[in-house]
Structures are given as structure tokens and as C-alpha cells.
Structure 1
Amino acid sequence: MAALLAVAGCAGQGGGTAPGDAKGGRPTVSGDAKGPSAGTVPGIPAADKARTQLARLKVAPQGSMTGYSRDRFPHWAELGDNCNTRETVLERDGRDVRRDARCRAVSGTWTSVYDGRTFTKASGLDIDHTVPLANAWRSGANTWTQEKRKAFANDLTRPQLLAVSAVSNRSKGDQGPDEWQPPSKTYWCTYARSWTAVKSFYGLTVTKAEKTTLGTMLDTCRR
């Protein structure tokens, strides 16, 4: 697994079917669902550090979508042993995950931190890019090399990838935090810290509205 960490969104879709439980019905919803175990999603800064990072982010209008394609951000990267980035995140964010010989998650339990839904089938999940690929393109990634865009789309060392419900991921699309926030307000603090950390590391810009909303979301963090 150490080798996986060397691999560094439009929201990343997992190509799954509509969300459902193990019997193919609706997912369960739990108000106190905790999602991925504490500490499993890497690189989330403390709130004070995130505020410092946010203050330093360059404010600029969103750029053009001219030339954008998801193919400009190659994903999901092969990591050896038949595994790719998507399957690695599914194992990391789930509990009691079992994989087959092709590294596909065949059983386990996942809780989507965006909306509190719990799944026992990986097909109900998408792997979300915290900062969507199209949003990154509009805020500076259009000038990157293809190699850097690939690293961004497969980043396992920062809080850029997360297994969430397909419904929440597709509702988010490529919107920034000023346009879309996780339905579960208890995740706003973590979401803002994660978004800010990713944009800070990659030197991406934020809009004025985006920066203001991130500050408001960081204010929900416990002091």
C-alpha cells in the first residue's frame, strides 16, 4: 500500500448503477453515520491551517471551458495487481471490504459522508473528486501538463478522492462550494478544509463567492 501513496475532478463518477442496498432496494440513511474511519482520508488540515491556506489563495474569475475534456485528466490510474485508483479508494473508505481476483469490491459497508446514506454494494457509489476536474480546469489546470492533470485526478495523498453516494456526487457535478454544499451540514467543516487544501497544494484559484463560502463553512468547525 505504501507504493499507492506515490500516486498522487468534474466530479469523478464510478460508473455504478443507481444507489441501493444489498437487496437492490433503497439505501439506508443514518443521521449519525460516520463514513470513512477517522484518519483514513489523507491530508485534511486542521481548521486553523485551512484558514491560513484560504487567505493565501488567489482570487480570480472562473476561466473558460474551452478545450476541456475529462480525457485531459486520465483516470483511474492502474496501480498494479489489477487494482486502480477507484478500487483503492473503495477499500480505504469502506469497512470489511472484500475484493475479488480482479480487485473489484464485492462486499463491504460504505457510508457516504455527503448525505449519510449507507451502502452494502459498491455499485451505489461514485468516487468524487473533491475539487471537480472541470472546476480545476477553469481555475488553472488548463495550463498544466497532462502528467500533472493525471496526478491530480488520481491523488491519493491529499483529500481529493472520496467514495460517496452516486446521487450526491452527480448532484454536485462540477460546482464549487458557493453553488453546492454537502446535504449533511455536519460535513461542511471537513469539506471546506479538504477543498481548500487541494486548491492550495495545486495553486488553483478561487472566485470571490467561493472564498467567502469556504470561510463560512470553516466557521462551522469546532474551536
Structure 2
Amino acid sequence: MPKKAPSKIGGVALTVFGVLALAACTLDQQGGTAQPQGDDTSSKPSTDGSSLSVEQARERLEELRVEAENDPSGYDRSLFPHWTSKDGCDTRQVVLQRDGEGVEVDEDCDPVAGSWHSPYDGETFTDSGELDIDHMVALNEGWRSGAHAWTTEKRERFANDLDSSQLWAVSASSNRSKGDSDPADWLPPLESSHCDYVVSWIEVKHTWDLTVDPDEEAALREVLAGC
């Protein structure tokens, strides 16, 4: 009897089996699982702006207490101890390391190399001395919004808050232009940053249970409407 020709289907099956076996062996040697090419699911957490979405900011804004601004006498920056040290670095140094690219520090934790992008005006700096660490909600604005009634310990936590988006590394010129203004009186020169700015503002006010005055609330709503 003549021999049967090999089945084409059987040959294809063997080929596919061989490819799968080779892939399984390779993965076993690498100690991992296959990841689709071009679909890297890992991501670096952003250090710029708030972790809130615009929709979440709108919800938080509804929860803020709207009150006429109170400006009790007695404000002084020393009532908000800031740039406290932890693990050898003070808060300013921590923010500079967090918000910069390629930052290198000396034995005193001072940056000696790196670059920083100022989100308020789009400027980039390689000298950390040209940067300020801005309190999103300025200390005096916090005082007027309820912090005057806090303990010094709580004001210190507010002034060194690394958990919310309260602290931003920005150009000294933009920070000093802002002063202690709220969004009714000042927004960053870079218009494309306005949404991030007001979302962050709302986050900080909500986190610290601070009030907003009517003009401030109206300005926040107006910016959010365009986000």
C-alpha cells in the first residue's frame, strides 16, 4: 500500500504547538508573563497639580462653605512654621527633588543639578535659586479662610503639606506676582494651566476645611466651566 501524505492540518498544529512551547519556555526563563508590545501599563505618578479630576473638583466645590472673608488681626508668617526638616531634608528641598528632572543634591540636600518647569508661566530653570515653593493656598489666605483659629501645630502641617497639591515649585517672579491672592484676583499667566490651578485650589481648601468667599467661588466656577 502506498504511504499516506502527511496531513497539512497536522503539520500546522505541530508548528503552532512548537511556537507556543518555545514562548512558554522563554517566559519561564525570564520569570515573567507576556506583556503586549506598546501597551506599557506602568506609569509614573504625576507630581504636577492635583490628583482630582475636574468632575471631582466640581463635587468638592459644592461641599465648600461659602462665607464672607474674615481677616482677623495678628497674622504673621511665623505662625505657620514652614520648611521643617525630615530625614535630613527640609520641605523646600523635598519639593525641589520631587518636581525637578535629573535633580542631584549635595550632602546638605541642596540641589546642585537638575531642571524645573514652572507650571504657572511655562518657564524652565536649571538654577533652583530662581524658584520659589508656592503655597497653592497662601498662608495669609489660609489665615483669612479659617486657619486663624487653628493651633500652631496644625498651621505647621498646612504650611508643609506634601500630601495634597498645596506645594508647587514655580518661578519666583510668578509666585511673587500672585502674593496671597485668591483666584478671583490672580490666575497664572499661562492660561493652559488655569484648570489644573483651580482644581488644586479646590482640593487644598476642601482638604483643610477652609472657606471660600463669594467672589472666589464665582471665579472657581467660571474657570471650571471651561475645563
Counterpart-to-counterpart distance in 2, 1:166 and 1:45: 26
Give the structure with higher Rg (CA). 2
Q: Where in structure 2 are the equivalents of 1:1-223 lying within 5 Å?
A: 39-41=46-48, 43-81=50-88, 83-221=89-227
Compute the displacement of 1:58 (Å): 0.8
The answer on whether the counterparts of 2:83 and 2:91 sit within 8 Å (CA) in structure 1 is yes
Number of aligned residue pairs: 184
The answer on whether the counterparts of 2:116 and 2:125 sit within 8 Å (CA) in structure 1 is yes
Counterpart-to-counterpart distance in 2, 1:101 and 1:124: 21
Compute the displacement of 1:219 (Å): 2.2
| Amino acid of the structure 1 residue aligned with 2:116 | W
State the secondary structure of the residue aligned to 2:115: strand
Compute the displacement of 1:39 (Å): 1.2
Compute the displacement of 1:42 (Å): 7.0
Compute the displacement of 1:38 (Å): 6.0
State the secondary structure of the residue aligned to 2:184: coil
What is the percent sequence identity of the aligned residues? 47
State the secondary structure of the residue aligned to 1:126: strand
| More helix, by proportion | 2
State the secondary structure of the residue aligned to 1:107: strand
Compute the displacement of 1:216 (Å): 1.4
Change (3 A) 1:157 1:41: farther
Counterpart-to-counterpart distance in 1, 2:48 and 2:160: 14
Counterpart-to-counterpart distance in 2, 1:169 and 1:126: 7
The answer on whether the counterparts of 2:121 and 2:189 sit within 8 Å (CA) in structure 1 is yes
Compute the displacement of 1:61 (Å): 1.4
Counterpart-to-counterpart distance in 1, 2:223 and 2:138: 18
CA-atom RMSD in angstroms: 1.3
Query: Where does structure 2 lack aligned partners over 5 or more consecutive residues?
Result: 1-43
CA deviation digits over 1:107-156, x for unaligned, max 9?
A: 11001000011100000000000000000000100000111100000000
List 4+ stretches of structure 1 deviating above 2 A: 41-44
Change (3 A) 1:42 1:180: closer
Higher relative contact order (CA 8 A, sep 6+): 1
The answer on whether the counterparts of 2:50 and 2:199 sit within 8 Å (CA) in structure 1 is no
| Amino acid of the structure 1 residue aligned with 2:102 | D
Counterpart-to-counterpart distance in 2, 1:163 and 1:134: 19
Corresponding position of 1:29 = none
TM-score by length of 2: 0.79
The answer on whether the counterparts of 2:49 and 2:197 sit within 8 Å (CA) in structure 1 is no
Compute the displacement of 1:64 (Å): 1.6
| Amino acid of the structure 1 residue aligned with 2:64 | L
State the secondary structure of the residue aligned to 2:129: helix
